[in-house]
Amino acid sequence: MTNQPPDHLPVTAEPDVQVTDDILREHPERVAAVRDALEAGDVTRVRDVVLPLHYADLADLIEALGHDERMALLDTIRGELDPDVLPMLEDAVRDEVVEHLGPEEVAAALGEMDTDDAIEVVQTLDDEAREEVLDAVPADERAVLEEGLTYPEDSAGRLMQRELVSVPIAWDVGQTIDHLRAVAERDDEDLPDEFYDIYVVDDRSRLVGRVSLSRILRSKRSLALAELADTELRSVPVDMDQEEVALLFRQYGLASAPVVSAGNRLVGVITVDDIVDIIHEEAEEDILLLGGVSEGDLYEAAVDTAKSRFPWLAVNLATALLAANVIGLFEATIEKVVALAVLMPIVASMGGNAGTQTMTVAVRALASKELSVANGLRIFWKEGIVGGVNGLVFAVIMGLVAWAWFGDPSIGLVIAAAMTINLLVAGLAGVAIPLALDRSGVDPAVASPVFLTTLTDVVGFSAFLGLATIFVV
Amino acid sequence: MTNQPPDHLPVTAEPDVQVTDDILREHPERVAAVRDALEAGDVTRVRDVVLPLHYADLADLIEALGHDERMALLDTIRGELDPDVLPMLEDAVRDEVVEHLGPEEVAAALGEMDTDDAIEVVQTLDDEAREEVLDAVPADERAVLEEGLTYPEDSAGRLMQRELVSVPIAWDVGQTIDHLRAVAERDDEDLPDEFYDIYVVDDRSRLVGRVSLSRILRSKRSLALAELADTELRSVPVDMDQEEVALLFRQYGLASAPVVSAGNRLVGVITVDDIVDIIHEEAEEDILLLGGVSEGDLYEAAVDTAKSRFPWLAVNLATALLAANVIGLFEATIEKVVALAVLMPIVASMGGNAGTQTMTVAVRALASKELSVANGLRIFWKEGIVGGVNGLVFAVIMGLVAWAWFGDPSIGLVIAAAMTINLLVAGLAGVAIPLALDRSGVDPAVASPVFLTTLTDVVGFSAFLGLATIFVV
């Protein structure tokens, strides 16, 4: 199946291929090296490390430095910063860098980027900085950027690049190749830097098909595009949310997709490299939100991290106080049978864990559109059964353990009943809470864990202590 | 910046472009429709829905059905199943489908796939099924598959396809295009279905560069590849772990990457569509593991789901019993001051939440290689400070609340001290546990939550009840 060329001619170039085995591991060491060189004021050493870097690696490095080091680094490579670094930076870091570079240098950098990258940079600036930068951009480029900014945030319109190649459906392969060569000879900048597909349009600029470059290259010059074009292609409406665009790319293994406005007019193209970032960010965001943090804050100062984590802990304190209040209602019961205080956290903890299992599956199924109102009820009952079954199993185990431990069968029966109730509620709530939040437009990954653990704590403590008040004391 | 063709000629094809606004939302409805049609034995309706589907959508549909429905569906479309469905299926479902189709049909399907997809299908079969299928595959294809299986699981060698285009460095653009047209005319199957890059090799098959198709197409026929080729390309060693390959694609926005064996010999190519899946799966896996579930099990039978979730809950029960034992040590103290039973879950819960925040950041930073032994110690101390600072803040708040609630300043002081201790420990352990697990080769996402909450429960209960035994009672 491998296609080797028919013959191998003598070498005319020396191999200079970088094997990337340890590129990924170099990052922390590189940060330390640049930090040392900056501190020592060794400009040559800083430039030796920084200038050969790929723009993505340089962006990581800039992010990893503290504010003062970052500014010192920018001064060291003034005028030689690769423009492509800017779109790769985290928003807060980019704000600093843009302010330090000044509007003229930023505007010049925007001119060298594809529109999607330029919009990524411009859209996160605050209003004043954005106006200053846009004022410094030439009028025609500014019009493109301003049009891009009219599309909703996180929509396909913001993600797409305007640079694309489209040709009339009436052309053949030879005309297409000649056209590309002619454009490139006139001004190579008029073509996208890299592209995978050529789009085929009718005489009213409506998208009618797609031809991949590998199809063009293997076909005879005389073949008509109408015969070659893939007309069942998947296009993206310009206002589609980026999360759905990512699902589309993933589902159909796309390398790029055309973006169309009303009336199927071709307005741009989205490439997979932007989508890879979104897939990663969306999943990452859910992980962090479920863990109660708003952002990966590895490089932030300790006091900023402490501040950013405070609100979530404060919410948790409020719910813990609520649960404590529930326990407070049964002080008299606990005073008589202190074993209840020993056992009660078990019921709450098992409910919390069982609920978290269900909730995690539900939150991810909502994100990948596998869970919806259509099948929500079925999954709700299913999780109820799962919770009930595991509730009964652990009820038996825990009932016997409690009986043996405290020598009182009634304590065993009460903990068994409370366990069953709490795991059943946990299973149902694990589906119902994310689904309800999603329907009311709240991100289920943010709010589900609080609601869920509050519920399983309150139900766990009140079922166990309530039943004990009736049957044990 | 948009490159419109110079003129628009009359239309010769009718627009037939699918706007994909709601494709993503159709899934649950489609599952219900096929289920109904299968139940009613309406073969025509099943085929009408199923046969026009994209293979990725059909794979989703097959996964969503129950076992019997699945087999009925396969019988309905016997002989017309798109081979590309097989690599898209989850392992358990694929096993069923492969068994039902039989070795001959599966072997024929393998022949129509790219090697990476064929290996994906073959590698997950059990030994007996794999042998049967491989016996039915023609000898030359079998040799390629068997070689692929010698690479470690989850390595670049398993991900790569052998189908690629490589040409000698001494050629020019014209020779390259003529070569592609000649191969396609002889047998189009000898070229990969879609490709983005042509690799340039020396006379010993060593990789020396890469030319993107869009470069070839815009260049004059006489231009030498040696001048055109990008020789600073990033290649992937054949034994690199797939998670690192995914990081590489994401970092450098790659559409494809060449895979090389020892001595820089070009052996295959990895394309971004496979990487998109891996990025998603790796993040998904971490989310689910942190939530205590091994797999997204939305479509599984309730009893199977209950079984698969049992082990995690059993581990949690064991740790909850350990925490209960700690409480049990202080029964006498609680008997005297029942307020302690009311307040103690607050200390444990705050520790658990603060620790989970740190742990979530650490687990993700390990996955993206931002956290390592090199900077581990710095992050460890930083998280200690974060935990200590937030510990002190919440100590003051909770100390005052407890004093006001139970009118006893010594209870306030004790809960304040316990809170500070537990949040400090939680911050340190939130980094130390994932880092230690990672170093000892255990996936930190699996085991970190158990260790962490056990620790924060035990420290929380014993610090609070221990201090209370000394200072309150």
Is B364's CB within 8 Å of A226's CB? no
pLDDT of chain A along its 473 residues, tens only?
344 444 443 333 343 444 444 455 567 788 889 999 999 999 999 999 999 999 999 998 998 888 899 999 999 998 899 999 999 998 888 988 999 999 999 999 998 888 889 999 998 888 888 999 999 999 988 998 999 999 998 899 999 998 899 999 999 999 999 999 999 988 877 788 888 999 999 988 899 999 999 999 999 999 999 999 988 878 999 999 998 899 899 888 888 899 999 889 999 999 988 888 888 887 788 888 888 887 666 767 788 888 889 999 999 999 999 999 999 999 999 999 999 999 999 999 999 999 999 999 898 888 877 787 767 888 888 899 999 999 999 999 999 999 999 999 999 999 999 999 999 999 999 999 999 999 998 888 888 998 999 999 999 999 999 999 999 87
Domain A23-156 has CATH 1.10.10.10: no
Which CATH number is B166-272 given? Answer: 3.10.580.10
- SS3 track for chain B: CCECCCCCCCCCCCCCCEECCCHHHCHHHHHHHHHHHHHCCCHHHHHHHHCCCCHHHHHHHHHHCCHHHHHHHHHHCCCCCCCCHHHHCCHHHHHHHHHHHCHHHHHHHHHCCCHHHHHHHHHCCCHHHHHHHHHCCCHHHHHHHHHHHCCCCCEHHHHCECCCEEEECCCEHHHHHHHHHHHHHHCHHHCCCCCCEEEEECCCCEEEEEEEHHHHHHCCCCCEHHHHCECCCEEEECCCEHHHHHHHHHHHCCCEEEEEEHHHEEEEEEEHHHHHHHHHHHHHHHHHHHCCCCCCCCCCCHHHHHHHHHHHHHHHHHHHHHHHHHHHCCHHHHHHCCHHHHHHHHHHHHHHHHHHHHHHHHHHHHHCCCCCHHHHHHHHHHHHHHHHHHHHHHHHHHHHHHHHHHCCHHHHHHHHHHHHHHHHHHHHHHHHHHHHHHHCCCCHHHHHHHHHHHHHHHHHHHHHHHHHHHHCC
| A59/A52 Cα distance (integer angstroms) | 13
Do the chains contact at A218 and B247, CB–CB below 8 Å? Answer: no
B261 burial type by CB count under 10 A (0-12 exposed, 13-18 middle, 19+ buried): middle
Report the pLDDT value the prediction gives residue B296, as an integer from 0 to 100: 62
CB contact under 8 A, B292 and A232: no
* Of B385, B361, B341, B332, the residue nearest B433 (C-alpha): B361
Cα separation, B46 vs B23, in Å, equals 18
At B285 the pLDDT is 83
CA nearest to A253 within chain B: B273
Cα A341–Cα A343–Cα A344 angle in degrees, nearest 5? 70
Give the minimum alpha-carbon distance from B341 to chain A in angstroms, rounded to a whole number. 6
Which of B195, B365, B389 has its CB closest to that of A303? B389
User: Which of A2, A195, A284 lies at the smallest CB-CB distance from B364?
Assistant: A284
- CB contact (8 A) between residue A272 and residue B255: yes
Write down the domain spans for chain A.
Answer: 23-156, 166-272, 302-471
List chain A residues with CB under 8 Å of B184.
218-219
pLDDT at B299: 67
A290 close contact with B: CB closer than 8 A: yes
When scoring A217, A227, A382, A452 by the number of chain B Cβ atoms within 10 A, the one with the most, hence best to mutate, is: A217
Q: Which of B229, B219, B217 is nearest to B180 (CA)?
A: B217
Judging contacts by C-beta atoms under 8 Å, the chain A residues touching residue B236 are 20
| Token pair recorded at residue B12 | 């010769």
A-chain residue closest to B212, CA distance: A194
Q: Does B446 touch chain A (CB under 8 A)?
A: no
By CB atoms closer than 10 A (0-12, 13-18, 19+), residue A214 is: buried
How far B124 CA lies from chain A's nearest CA (Å)? 21
CB–CB of B213 and A213 under 8 A? yes
Residue A28: the pLDDT is 73
Q: Which residues of B touch A331 (CB under 8 A)?
A: 338-339, 341-342
Question: A225 with A172: CB under 8 angstroms?
Answer: yes
Q: Is B424 on the interface with A (CB under 8 A)?
A: no
Q: Are B472 and B410 in contact (CB under 8 A)?
A: yes
A 93-112 → B contacts, CB under 8 A: none
State how far residue A414 is from chain B, nearest Cα, in angstroms: 17
Hey, is A357 helix, strand or coil? helix
Q: Which residues of A touch B345 (CB under 8 A)?
A: 320, 323-324, 327, 344-345, 348, 457
pTM value > 0.80: no
pLDDT tens digits for range B243-278: 889 989 988 888 889 999 988 999 999 998 888 888
Distance from CA of B227 to the nearest CA of A (A): 9
CATH number attached to the domain at B302-471: 1.10.357.20
Contact state of B183 with A345 under an 8 Å Cβ cutoff = no
Contact B305 A382 (CB under 8 A): yes
In this complex, is the C-beta atom of B166 within 8 Å of any C-beta atom belonging to chain A? yes
Residues 309-368, chain B, touching A (beta carbon < 8 A): 309-310, 312-313, 316-317, 320-321, 323-324, 327-328, 331, 334-335, 338-339, 341-346, 348-350, 353-354, 356-357, 359-361, 363-365
Q: Which chain B residue's Cα is nearest to A304?
A: B386
ipTM: 0.77
Query: Number of CB pairs < 8 Å for A and B?
Result: 525
Q: Which residues of chain B have pLDDT under 50?
A: 1-22
A348 neighbourhood in chain B, CB within 8 Å? 345
CB-based contact A376:B297 (threshold 8 Å): no
